[in-house]
Amino acid sequence: MQVQVKLFAFFREGRFIKEDRELANGTTAGEVVDSLDIDREEVGVLMLNSKHCQFETILQDGDVYAIFPVIGGG
């Protein structure tokens, strides 16, 4: 299945901004984080199709998946 993966802030360094990835059925959000060599501890927010999700969430074909480090502002 195809999932669009988007990275933000310093997660982009040495990686990418946006990429369509071919993933095995049943891949979880956390497994994508691991495959990108991103430390789960550094992850602040995961969003799937503009809604918050968890490391355990199973991705579906056509999903848009965004990975943010811990950030803030206001």
Partner 1 sequence: MADMIFRVNMSDLSTTLEDVPADWAGHGGRGLTSTIIAAEVPPTCHPLGPNNKLVIAPGLLSGTAAANSGRISCGAKSPLTGTIKESNAGGTSAQALAKMGCKALIIEGEPKDDTWYTLRLTSEGVTIEKEEELIGKGNFAVVDALEKRNTESIGVISIGQCGEMQMASANISIKDPDSHFRSCGRGGLGAVMGSKKIKAIALDAGDNKVEIADIDAFRAANKIFAKALVDHPVSQALGTYGSNVLVNIINESGGFPTRNFTQGQYEDHEQISGETMHDIIVERGGKPKHGCHKGCVIQCSQIYNDAKGKYKTSGMEYESIWGLGADCTVNNLDDIAEMDSIMDDIGIDSIETAVAFAVAMDGGLLDFGDANEMIRILRDEIGKGTPLGRVIGSGAGNVGRTYGVTRVPVVKNQGIPAYDPRAIKGIGITYATSTQGADHTMGYTIATEILAVGGKADPLSKEGQVELSRNLQIATAAIDSTGMCLFIAFAALDDGACLPALIDMLNARFGIALTADDVTNLGMSILKTEHAFNLAAGFTNKDDRLPEFFSLEPIPPHNAVWDFTDDEIDTFWDF
Could you tell me the two tokens for 1?
């299945």
Could you tell me the two tokens for 53?
């999700």
- Should residue 10 be labelled a site residue for partner 1 when binding is judged by CB under 8 A? yes
**3-class state of residue 39 by DSSP:** coil
Q: Which C-beta is closer to partner 1: that of 23 or that of 48? A: 48
- Should residue 3 be labelled a site residue for partner 1 when binding is judged by CB under 8 A? no
- Should residue 34 be labelled a site residue for partner 1 when binding is judged by CB under 8 A? no
Q: DSSP letter at 17? A: S
Beta partners for residue 67, in sequence order: 7, 46
Q: How far is the CB of 58 from partner 1 (least distance, A)?
A: 19
- Should residue 44 be labelled a site residue for partner 1 when binding is judged by CB under 8 A? yes
